[in-house]
Amino acid sequence: MGFKTGRRHREKLACMMAICLVLALTTAPALAQRNYDAEIAGYVRDLSSKNLNVRDNAANSLGNEANNPEFGRAAAVAVPALLQALKDRDPTLRGAAAFALGSIGAQPEKTVPALIEALKDPENRVRQSAADALGEFHSESSSAVPALAAALADPDDQVRQTAAKSLISFGSEAQRSLPAFIDILQKPGAKDRYLAAEVIAGIGPAAQPAVPALTAALKDQDISVRLDSARALGAIGANLAQAFPVASRLLVNEDWHIRARAAFVVGTLGAVAAPAIPTLIKRLRDDEPVNKIAAQALANIAVSLKEAHRTDAIKALEDAQAAIGQSDDSDIESKTPDLDDAISALKAPTDRAQK
């Protein structure tokens, strides 16, 4: 009898514990949400403080904490206050507000027009924050593309570079401003023309109308313009034979930054880049990041050669396979399967014929 009573007691206790666990799991998110709501409400109140430091801290805190997706969703209620802060007399707060609006990424119908307007702010840092924030809305609104395209002509270096980065995030959606990018690329006096080529590369095959301008830019005096034009042609899939020598020659440049960029570009040009394999093998002996970029380029070229059935490249691929296999770097060694697969696939017809 005592045994039965003990068992019932244990069953009852287990049942109560299960109920508690279920309640904890189901109420925890709600409690967390309430905590976020209280915290966000405090930041919203702080945004109307007379103390600039308090307002600035609130905007920055909203922007930083919005990296947490749950916080970011809950922080949508702060958008009206941040839009007001975007008009504050203090440029530091305006920049912080733009940053927070981009991090939260809510209410694009109100936020995007306000950020586009902020691209005209007299302060460089505000324009840069606005350009960066607009890139966060690439999946919701492409209306920012023309304004960001215009920002490629901004007098400030950081604003131009940030605008280009955001435009790249729009991918093929940036095609609507392709004529503007081509125009910048073709203007000898335009600053950072390579940024236009970078954006065109981000558009991909849809940027076919830019091919003549990109091909002409392969002869530009600026190394960055030449490299990024070659990269863009690779992304479009046009005039690869003309783009390849431009990039491959720079694999031996004395500047490691240039070698790294050249290795990346060569790795995007497909089977036409086979002649660069010996030089890329040498670049495996460079320091990071050149060696790792070269290894990835070799892997990319191997895949392209396999798809192109380039049996004439087997020996070069075997040399690359051996070089990568000797590396002590796990990131470099991880490219071995691509080489192995390409070599096996290319050898298969010969092996069958011999049998």
Could you tell me if 152 and 61 lie in one domain?
yes
Q: What percentage of residues in the chain have a pLDDT greater than 70?
A: 89
pLDDT band at 1; cut points 50, 70, 90 = very low
pLDDT band at 2; cut points 50, 70, 90 = very low
Flag whether pLDDT at 3 surpasses 50: no
- Predicted local distance difference test score (pLDDT) of residue 35: 76
Note the pTM of the prediction, 2 decimals.
0.80
- Predicted local distance difference test score (pLDDT) of residue 9: 46
Q: From CA 198, how far away is CA 203, in angstroms rounded?
A: 9
Flag whether pLDDT at 178 surpasses 50: yes
Could you tell me if 165 and 246 lie in one domain?
no
Q: From CA 196, how far away is CA 160, in angstroms rounded?
A: 10
Which tens digit of pLDDT belongs to each residue from 321-347? 999 999 999 999 999 999 999 999 999
Last residue of a domain, one of 140, 169, 198: 169
Q: From CA 249, how far away is CA 221, in angstroms rounded?
A: 14
Q: Tell me the mean pLDDT in the region 256-273.
A: 98
| 26 found inside a domain | no
Flag whether pLDDT at 13 surpasses 80: no
Flag whether pLDDT at 222 surpasses 70: yes
- Phi, psi (degrees; rounded to nearest 5) at 325: -65, -25
**Domain of 304: which CATH number?**
1.25.10.10
| 46 found inside a domain | no
| 174 found inside a domain | no
| 34 found inside a domain | no
Q: From CA 217, how far away is CA 230, in angstroms rounded?
A: 9
Could you tell me if 264 and 161 lie in one domain?
no
| 47 found inside a domain | no
Q: What DSSP string runs through 175-211?
A: GGGHHHHHHHHH-TT-TTHHHHHHHHHHHGGGGGGGH
- Predicted local distance difference test score (pLDDT) of residue 18: 55
To 5 degrees, how large is the angle CA 249–CA 192–CA 126? 140
Are 224 and 194 in contact by the 8 Å Cβ rule? The answer is: yes
Could you tell me if 80 and 165 lie in one domain?
yes
Give the pair of three-digit tokens for residue 199: 């954006």
| One-letter identity of residue 123 | E
> How far, in Å, are 257, 264, 280, 329 from residue 291 at the CA level?
12, 11, 8, 10
Q: How many domains does the chain have?
A: 2
Domain that holds residue 93: 56-169
- Residue 24's CB is within 10 A of a number of other CB atoms, namely 10
Could you tell me if 160 and 249 lie in one domain?
no
Give the pair of three-digit tokens for residue 87: 């008009």
Residue closest to 104 by CA, chosen among 66, 142, 71: 66
Q: From CA 302, how far away is CA 179, in angstroms rounded?
A: 35
Q: From CA 114, how far away is CA 98, in angstroms rounded?
A: 9
- Predicted local distance difference test score (pLDDT) of residue 276: 98
| 141 found inside a domain | yes
Last residue of a domain, one of 169, 196, 218: 169
| 90 found inside a domain | yes
| 197 found inside a domain | no
Last residue of a domain, one of 124, 146, 169: 169
- Phi, psi (degrees; rounded to nearest 5) at 75: -75, 0
Which tens digit of pLDDT belongs to each residue from 75-131? 999 999 999 999 999 999 999 999 999 999 999 999 999 999 999 999 999 999 999
Could you tell me if 155 and 259 lie in one domain?
no
Could you tell me if 244 and 350 lie in one domain?
yes
Q: From CA 298, how far away is CA 301, in angstroms rounded?
A: 5
**Residue 140 DSSP SS3:** coil
**Residue 353 DSSP SS3:** helix
Residue closest to 228 by CA, chosen among 184, 189, 272: 184
